[in-house]
Structure 1
Amino acid sequence: MGSKRVTYPKIIGHRGAAALAPENTLAGFAKAASLGVKMVELDAKLSADGEVVVHHDDTLGRTANGQGPVAQASFAALRALDAGGWFGEAYKGERIPTLAEALDAIAKAGMGVNVEIKPCAGREVETAEKVIAVARAQWKGDGPFQFSSFKRPCLETALAQAPDYERGYLTDNFAEGWLENAQALKCASVNGNFRGYTRERIAATHAAGLLALTYTVNEPAIARQLLANGMDGIITDVPDRMLAL
């Protein structure tokens, strides 16, 4: 991948296009692409038997018709679930994709991707290692690629094992040391909750040589203000509304 600074699009689809199609599914990524989205974000975690799947929650039930922890479910069990019917009849039968399938579809659609390493508790390093292995084997896209995580061990593993891939430092509350931590992990961006991303924090991020990305912005007026304040990229459930800006 090289070390040259990647340019991120201003609008990044959250879990595909989460308000418009079932999140973290191939249908969701296809929906984003159909809208003209140039980059999407997704969540990667492990099944009980070590398959890297694209799913956000630690437990099943909200976006797939199962029960219990993802970490205790085999890939075969996860694959048997319906990950689209909850969203609407048109998406019934949509499956939980593997990360490999998702990366392939996103690359073929001409989009970039932010892979959030989202481990179940206690599996931080293992999850990061397996996510990195899949990315190395599978990602053939020309668009921007980034690993991101709230979990420091995941970013440390990514820095150690995949220094040629950019990293994003996820922070929900900008806890003390957020910028120093992002710099120490040689991140390309600080991906912060928009509620805490002030003009001053955007400026500080830029002064440190990092890009400022923010999640999850669904109101055009808020997006407009953030962009006016210097925000480099906005992660959104409603990329159709944001692209209209």
Structure 2
Amino acid sequence: MTACKTSAPAAQEKPPLPAFDLEGHRGARGLMPENTIPAMRKAIDLGMTTLEMDAHITRDNQVVIAHDDFFNPLFALTPDGKEIPKEDAKKYALYQMDYAQIKTFDVGSRHYGNFPKQQKMKAHVPLLVDLIDSVQAYLKANNKPQVFYNIETKSKLAGDNKLHPDPENFVKLLMQVVEKKKITPWVIVQSFDPRTLQFMHQKHPHVRTSLLVENKKSLEENLKTLGYTPTIYSPNYKLVTAELVKKCHDLGMKVIPWTVNTTEEINQMKALGVDGIISDYPNLLATQQQ
């Protein structure tokens, strides 16, 4: 399929999701600084079919790729290379900063104890638009097949208009970038916040959505809250059972758990019949697929 090799993927048809979806969590968090362009390239190098990432909005309404509401004091450095004291972290809320300022922070040079294999390098929080451009160019230059983008909206009710826009404006800003870059068929929007998914479903019903789940409620309860059946049900891997997988499949949903970081856990998930895996260690997923 020639469309798979282009720098701007063909937007007419929605391609099928991978038979078994290999997702690099925050790119390749176990190996490279999370949610950075180098992490996405590493995931591509290791054969991932989907790049998983987190979206935030800046004060000047730019869509950036970052997980936390604030610069994380565990690994972020200020523009002058200093560590951020834990008690000062809330001074650095992304939604209260313009992108020009955000870009000057270093999120890759400092040792991150949770991920000792992570390669250290100077890295910054990227704009989604720049990340897409870089990924598409990298795919083309290396003759790699088109990947999917699984983008999480980092929002919750308590943070509205303090840590992020309201759901409607969050989705509007995100989809402006996605549509401008012509990658809509290759995008999945995921969230723990049912409000952003509900708005996606109303305004962009053609875009695939994924409900992230970490609560102990039943599948039925979570779908009732959401109000529709998403493309993907994405629970914490510890919540996955064969019964849950069967129920989801019967409803036409795929099951893609997070965050599965050991070979043993990967094998357990596969035995339960999941449709893909989100992992901090794409190298483990790559080994499994060989």
**What is the TM-score of this pair, normalised by structure 1?**
0.90
Conserved in 2, the CA contact under 8 Å of 1:220 and 1:241?
yes
Match of 1:111 in 2: 147
Q: How many percent of aligned residue pairs carry the same amino acid?
A: 25
The match for 1:13 among 4, 20, 24 is: 24
Shift of 1:163: 1.3
1:211 Cα deviation after fit: 0.5
Higher-Rg member (1/2):
2
Taking the aligned partners of 1:26 and 1:205, their CA distance within structure 2 comes to: 33
Give the Å deviation of 1:90. 6.3
Correspondence for 1:203 among 222, 234, 246: 246
Provide, for residues 10-64 of structure 1, a one-character-per-residue CA deviation record: whole Å limited to 9, x for no partner.
3210000110000000010011111122211000011122111000011113343
Q: Is the Cα–Cα contact under 8 Å of residues 114 and 147 in structure 1 kept in the other structure?
A: yes
The answer as to whether partners of 2:257 and 2:278 remain within 8 angstroms in 1 is yes
Task: Specify which of 194, 214, 220 is matched with residue 152 of structure 1.
Answer: 194
1:191 corresponds to: 234
Q: Which residue of structure 1 aligns with residue 211 of structure 2?
A: 169
Q: Distance in 2 between matches of 1:6 and 1:127?
A: 26
Q: Which amino acid aligns with 1:150?
A: F
Q: Structure 1 residue 106: deviation in Å? A: 2.9
Q: CA deviation at 1:111?
A: 1.8
Q: Please give the TM-score of this superposition, normalised by the length of structure 2.
A: 0.77
Give yes or no for contact 2:25–2:51 (8 Å, CA) kept in 1: yes
CA shift, 1:185, in A, is 3.1
Query: Which ranges in structure 2 are unaligned for 5 or more consecutive residues?
Result: 1-10, 79-88, 113-117, 140-145
| Structure with the larger strand share | 1
Measured after TM superposition, the shift of residue 162 of structure 1 is 1.5
In the aligned structure 1, how far is the partner of 2:229 from the partner of 2:175? Answer: 17
**Please, which of 214, 219, 222 is the counterpart of residue 262 of structure 2?**
219
| Superposition pairs of residues 1-245 of structure 1, within 5 angstroms | 6-8=16-18, 9-60=20-71, 61-66=73-78, 67=89, 68-87=92-111, 91-108=120-137, 109=139, 110-119=146-155, 121-122=159-160, 123=165, 124-140=167-183, 144-176=186-218, 177-181=221-225, 184-245=227-288
- Give the AA of the match of 1:189: I
How far residue 103 of structure 1 moved from its aligned partner, in angstroms, is 2.1
Q: Secondary structure at the match of 1:244?
A: helix
| C-alpha separation in 1, matches of 2:276 and 2:224 | 21
Q: Which secondary structure does the structure 2 equivalent of 1:215 belong to?
A: coil
Runs of 4+ in 1 over 4 A off after TM superposition: 1-5, 87-91
RMSD: 2.3
State whether residues 48 and 70 of structure 1, in contact with CA within 8 Å, keep that contact through their aligned partners in structure 2.
yes
Distance, in Å, in 2 between the alignment partners of 1:4 and 1:92 is 36
Confirm or deny: 8 A CA contact 1:132 1:158 kept in the other structure: no
Q: Structure 1 pair 129/235, CA: closer, same or farther in 2 (3 Å)? A: same
**Separation (CA, whole Å) in 1 of partners of 2:41 and 2:189:** 21
Query: 1:44 touches 1:119 (CA, 8 Å); kept in 2?
Result: no
Unaligned runs of 5+ in 1: none
Is the contact between residue 234 and residue 257 of structure 2 (CA under 8 Å) also seen in structure 1? yes
Q: Give the whole-Å Cα distance in 2 for the aligned partners of 1:169 and 1:211.
A: 11
